[in-house]
């Protein structure tokens, strides 16, 4: 699927928007907003902990690819 194919079917071009969150950060100084990669890593860690505590964590998962 190329950008040319995408342009044929979409009305708008691709947009790399970024959330401007300075008001949110200023209003809630006690909250931290993690960088996206860290935030995703942390959410999966919480999911694993919750599933393990619940007893529903699958025991046969794919192994992570070596980097």
User: Per residue in 25-40, pLDDT tens?
Assistant: 899 989 888 888 999 9
**Which DSSP state fits 55?**
T
The pTM (predicted TM-score) of the whole model is 0.52
Task: Please report which confidence band the pLDDT of residue 67 belongs to, taking 50, 70 and 90 as the band edges.
Answer: low
| CB-based burial, 1-27: b 16+ in 10 Å, e otherwise | eeeeeeeeeeeeeeeeeeeeeeeeeee
Tokens of 60: 């046969």
CA 48 to chain CA mean position, Å = 15
Question: What is the residue extent of each domain of the chain?
Answer: 19-57
Q: Quick one: what percent of the chain has pLDDT higher than 90?
A: 28
């Amino acid at each position: 699927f190329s950008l040319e194919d995408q342009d044929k079917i979409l009305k708008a071009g691709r947009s790399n928007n970024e959330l401007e969150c300075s008001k949110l950060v200023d209003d809630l100084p006690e909250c931290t907003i993690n960088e996206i990669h860290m935030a995703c890593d942390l959410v999966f860690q919480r999911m694993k902990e919750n599933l393990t505590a619940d007893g529903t964590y699958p025991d046969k998962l794919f192994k992570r690819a070596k980097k």
